[in-house]
Structure 1
């Protein structure tokens, strides 16, 4: 295949490709590298055009590259000089994007980078952090080697260890010794990409106490996502109930009273699967007026739902033959009265002193209300999550335009200042005020005005990048935090684009309306070091241009120059 064929592949590849030559000083230390060739995907992903960079050094293309926390020149130089193939996830501070970069050297002094933009993937990680912070369940992400990669704050309350202590630790070190084998078996199931539900083991708290934790885990490759709950109180309640039942069984003289008092159905059968007795609850379930009526009957002679009698006999034969209990399984039952219920059943073999199976003891526990409560709890949790989402929207977003409101605007502005201060970079804050909006309200009504504001929000959002922020801070006043804009001429281009976008006519139902926009611009850090100063100065610039010449833009420092 000829070179044209391979070039066609590179030109149409969705992955960015760039070919470079490393440049070293007299002692052989990498000091720079040159762009030799890039494909269209590289241009699209980085915004660096081939005509502007090919034949140039990276320090000429990206002057701030030496100020990055990561030493790209040293890293790429090592591969170009000594060979190898590596892959890294790296944030490019000059380009303000996350990239996954695969680097290899086809020959000494040269290297190839294949890049893909993973900024959205990193944003999802941020969203996951947010979800972790508000969830009331115990949430964690672990790998199949048993390392806790991420946990939420609820684990601190459950186990007494800080999030920092838990993340990076081996969770098996906290598991009760008696539960390690079962935990490893569950991990084996997850390794086979099987979901593990309702798994329970015990974890040691900082104070030495063990807590029962119930898990719901789902694997994804080498990573396991899990939600858990501390069910110690429930387990202890169940243990106490079992102990009490055993004590009551030992008191033979009170057996009849106990059997007729406990709120679960109890029966016992012989090895022929004939009933020898039951308590009052079970006789009611079986549709009998008195417990004594069941003696001598088998399940085929009781008015169970169609087919259940034979199912019960099949279960009982297996238990008698194997000597193994069947515990805590749930069935849906239609009683003799026609009422439908959920029942939790237990069946155990009864043995004599010679350890010969001579019958079956069984219990029926009505868990209908528990099932309903669980369903109600799930619905309640769903409504809570929905309410939390709605509250978050109400607190941070403008109800009309769905844009960030003044509160969220200030949060993002302060965050932008912190990042710019850390990165020693700059950005622009634009104060946008609509010209002629009042006449729209006066002539066509507030409903038309609201429709216009919604469309203004959409047009403003279309003028900036996803990393920028468009906010409505009141009335017909909007702000734009252009974090990707540092140079004055770039800010002017964005402002000009906004003005031209808003000059286009608006169709409001059957009316065609036109407005304008005046834009005040404050640059960080030249026009202010804090959020209040930047907003105030961009507002002053907007009012200056609105007073002197509407429909254009003005930088804050122009006010002082014109004063």
Structure 2
């Protein structure tokens, strides 16, 4: 078949014209014995924006519009190819188009040699690869932009390859991830989560990777990780990359929210806890009371609410000063907390007033024991610096649902009983419609 094609080309020049015009962007034929003489096919000049009729078949015609540094490369390859047939004459060079734009041409050639092996002619072909070069340039630009974004963002980013069978391998991480986690690119590349983080933590993060794969959508979650860069809290987003209906990779983006969470906790603490004693404040106390009311109604259980006022506190402020008074309030809060269970709540309501929720009040005698314990504990001498401070307490007790089935009724009952105790002599407590009892 090849010989037949050669015969057809010899007999019919139109076949050669079709081949060179349809397959290539120019054919050239160079007389090396007369270097100035070189035939360039019309397609070459048309590619560069010139009228072929205006161009002479001289090597100087194209050498004037080729980039000179590329001409140097072409000459070097030409000389090497002439000296050694195994060295290819094949390079990409740039030409200046008539409109002053740049045209990228792949120039290939083959030396035709005499019986002694000396190169006497060169036959070559041109291929316009400008579109390819522009695409490469655009891809390079996009790659650079991607790298700028990837490494320029403040979020820690990482790329994971989905290996299959629930396995994952890290591909890379950006500079922010490296700096914030203390994990270098060399440490993370090609590692499984278990290899990088250990079995326990590796399995933990893999569960989220698996969830991202199974759901096939972005997921967002918070996680606390103890990494080489320290223990931090992250807000992590995982986004699946889907190829051929399967998740091939996962892009991870993690924002360090440690300081934000600490601030949130601090604000929450300020909003819900007393700054002086560290006990729950009025707001949190009432929230817990509402919760306890709902639980007790649902489970048909009872609880006790205590209102407590410190007797003799004003004289401590007047005698020893407000700093000593603050220490008395702090100590009183600690003593109340020591007398109640972990599930119970002791709160400072303001000034020298405290409130207590005792979760289980089924046995009223046990509640009385707790109340009495608080009362005795507060009467013990407090040593504030070099001063001995003594206080007492008046306590009113209400029990749900005996003394009230809603918040206002219970609060009103306990408050009324407490003030009745203070009115009739202080230093006592009253419990569920019992007469006021003195605690010795």
TM value normalised by structure 1: 0.37
Which structure's CA Rg is the greater one?
Answer: 2
TM value normalised by structure 2: 0.46
Higher relative contact order, structure no. (Cα contacts within 8 Å, ≥ 6 residues apart): 2
